[in-house]
Amino acid sequence: MAHTSGNVLVQWLLATLLIAMLGGAKAIVLCDTESSKLSSCYAAVTGQYPPKPNEKCCDVVKHSNLPCLCRYKSILPAFGFNPTNALALPSKCGLKTPPECRVV
């Protein structure tokens, strides 16, 4: 039962994040990162062949709590994000990929 309510909370948080990113709503802070800043990575995590992350995206990735953000990888497809692309951002930005961010 607790696991189900935890999933609902995570889904709610990500829905809020998505609305904030795409709708211009007031930014929320998730894993030490303002949701409005994550929008700079949108192109790099969507679609089958996304462009490389730009400098602004990599700056956000470098200052984010990656192990925390990567805990949400299982629900990325529900929002149109390609998990493989999203989890590749750290290495594409010159960072070591945390264990939580590895594709299993």
Would you say residue 10 lies in a domain? no
Would you say residue 74 lies in a domain? yes
Would you say residue 68 lies in a domain? yes
State the CATH number of the domain containing residue 66: 1.10.110.10
Nearest C-alpha neighbor of 74 from the set 49, 103, 50? 103
pLDDT along the chain (104 residues), means of 10: 55 63 64 82 89 94 89 80 88 90 71
- Domain range spanning residue 87? 26-101
Judged by DSSP in three states, 69 sits in helix
Number of domains the chain contains: 1
According to the model, what pLDDT value does residue 57 have?
Answer: 93
According to the model, what pLDDT value does residue 62 have?
Answer: 93
Tell if the pTM clears 0.75, that is, is over it: no
- Residue 30 dihedral angles phi and psi, to the nearest 5°: -130, 120
